[in-house]
Amino acid sequence: MWILHFFPDNFILWFCNCLLLAGIVAAAVGFAAHRVPGLWPYQLAFKLGGIALLVLGVYFRGGLAVETTWRERVAEVEARLVEAEKASAEATKGIDLKTQKQTAAVRQRTTYIRQYVDREVVKYNETCIIPEPFVQAHNRAAEAAPK
């Protein structure tokens, strides 16, 4: 069936129909050859050849039908893939906007805590004691963003 990929669909359909028609004609001649005086010695060859052509025609016709079905399924899946890629792009844009907002909030919170720490360190710099509010501010800066 790999040969089906090398020829256009119209040619394969035409070829299968010709095989079927030739098989029908050859089988009919084979079964009617005993009535024709010159053909009766060849009746077995016509019968076998006609049946073989019929079998080949049906086989290739079935292969073409299966190939067509698979091509339709592939086209359907490709169409769904395009839709999924569009939906994915839209979802990615939404996620990017949400991430940008969260990043901005974290940066703003970090900046505020740094300013607070800078103000408070000046007050306690003389005594070299780490005050509890400073430790709490440091811990808040290390925590995840508030929910």
Q: pLDDT tens across 10-61, in order? A: 888 898 899 999 999 999 999 888 888 888 888 899 899 999 999 999 998 8
Residue 50 tokens read as 């006609």
For residue 136, pLDDT over 90 is answered with: no
For residue 118, pLDDT over 90 is answered with: no
More confident residue, 52 or 111: 52
Residues spanned by the domain of 66: 2-142
For residue 147, pLDDT over 60 is answered with: no
DSSP 125: T
Any domain includes 118: yes
Any domain includes 28: yes
- Residue 25: the pLDDT is 94
Does residue 131 sit in helix, strand or coil? coil
Count of domains for the chain = 1
pTM summary value: 0.56
* Residue 125 · residue 101 · CB < 8 Å: no
SS (H, E, C) 26-95: HHHHHHHHHHCCCCHHHHHHHHHHHHHHHHHHHHHHHHHHHHHHHHHHHHHHHHHHHHHHHHHHHHHHHH
Any domain includes 78: yes
- Residue 127: the pLDDT is 63
For residue 101, pLDDT over 60 is answered with: yes
Any domain includes 101: yes
- Residue 36: the pLDDT is 80
Any domain includes 147: no
Mean pLDDT, all residues of the chain: 85
pLDDT band at 111 (very low <50, low <70, confident <90, very high): confident
For residue 94, pLDDT over 60 is answered with: yes
Cα–Cα distance between 101 and 94 in angstroms, integer? 11
